[in-house]
Amino acid sequence: MRFRRKSSEISFVDELPDILIKTLMSLEVESLVLIPGERILFQSSGINVFGILKDERIINEDLMALIRVVRRTHETHRGSLEVARGPIGSGKRELKVSVTPLNDEGMVLILLADESEARRIDAVRRDFVANVSHELKTPIGALGLLSEAILGAKDEPQEVIRFASRMHNEAKRLADLVQEIIDLSRLQSSDPLQKAFSVEIIDVVREAVDQAQFSSEQRGITIEIGDIENAIVIGDREQLITAVHNLVENAVNYSPENTKVSIVTRRNGDLAEISVTDQGIGIAEGDLNRIFERFYRVDPARSRMTGGTGLGLSIVKHVALNHGGDVKVWSKIGVGSTFTLQLPIAEDEEGKSE
């Protein structure tokens, strides 16, 4: 007789010994027990995150090929799988897999470990020092020069005020850069889908716009929330707000005064799309493929003027990929740009909209 609990818990049948079930539930890796006919006797609670199951069947062909080899040879085989984090985007999971025969009738034990986070952390460590040291040299060097200038102009009050004002701006730029480096490193070293929650798109948009109101008002730019088609996605609410906020701030910083930035959301099949459109300077076609790189700036002079760090769009890209989504851009010089954040809609969403 089959026994099933809620999808967020463990499910199994009473054909398996209790000691085996307890052992599997204590492991730090995810597990499956499969019998011929591809019937799942046991699955651990986190297995659905990997996207290898649909309707209680294994849909990953590479994994099924490995299972067939184990049944034919009656020996344990190990390997690795690369699976998509979501239906779009280039985000991938790297899974370490072990398949072991449990009897001569074709029952197998499948162990899956997500190696993506460890590999991501290693990659961050490798290039963190090179990137950060290069970017920090500019404001630190400027602060040193300005402090020397103040010492040399100590008997000229107006010059002291001028240099001190520039020091203040450089110090703020340095603080912003350090904070965004911290934010980016956190994104690269954590997986929002491991401890994910349901998040409403409309809630994300409203919070992101609220956070951008001060800077937009300072520049005389109107942020307009247009047509909103609500949807529920799975992920980290704060990361999603940060991504949308960065898109809005980017639009504000690269728009002329007294123009408009608009935000709309729509459902496109299984995707929720958040589009931020500005009437700004636009992006040259040659730069479009690089704008999501860390520290890349289309217009370095304007970035210095607005306090841009070159990390905002990189953070957006990381948030999108970490949530199994993507970010697209359309732009034309002198017309403006539209950035669209795409996220998978929750499978069990009831389809409510506003």
Q: What is the 3-state secondary structure (H, E, C) of 229-265?
A: CCCEEEECHHHHHHHHHHHHHHHHHCCCCCCEEEEEE
CATH of the domain at 160: 1.10.287.130
320, 343 Cβ separation under 8 angstroms = yes
Mean pLDDT of 348-354: 48
Better pLDDT: 151 or 136 = 151
Is the pLDDT assigned to residue 75 strictly greater than 80? yes
Of the pLDDT bands very low, low, confident and very high (cuts 50, 70, 90), residue 309 is low
> DSSP class of residue 346?
P
Neighbours of 197 (CB within 10 A): 10
- Final residue of a domain: which of 63, 85, 114? 114
Q: Are residues 288 and 339 in the same domain?
A: yes
pLDDT digits (tens, 9 = 90+) for 240-284: 998 999 999 889 988 888 899 999 999 999 999 999 999 888 888
Q: Are residues 336 and 231 in the same domain?
A: yes
CATH of the domain at 280: 3.30.565.10
Q: Are residues 322 and 208 in the same domain?
A: yes
Number of domains in the chain: 3
Of the pLDDT bands very low, low, confident and very high (cuts 50, 70, 90), residue 11 is very low
- Final residue of a domain: which of 190, 217, 251? 190
138, 304 Cβ separation under 8 angstroms = no
Range(s) of the domain holding residue 125: 120-190
- In this structure, what is the dihedral angle of CA atoms 59, 60, 61, 67, given to the nearest 10 degrees? -100
Mean pLDDT across the chain, nearest whole number? Answer: 80
- Final residue of a domain: which of 114, 136, 156? 114
Place of tokens 């906020």: 245
Of the pLDDT bands very low, low, confident and very high (cuts 50, 70, 90), residue 15 is low
Mean pLDDT of 123-138: 61
Mean pLDDT of 68-87: 86
Mean pLDDT of 126-142: 65
DSSP line for 35-89: ETTTEEEEE-TTGGGGT-EETTEE--HHHHHHHHHHHHHTS-EEEEEEEESSSSS
Q: Are residues 161 and 290 in the same domain?
A: no
pTM of the model as a whole = 0.54
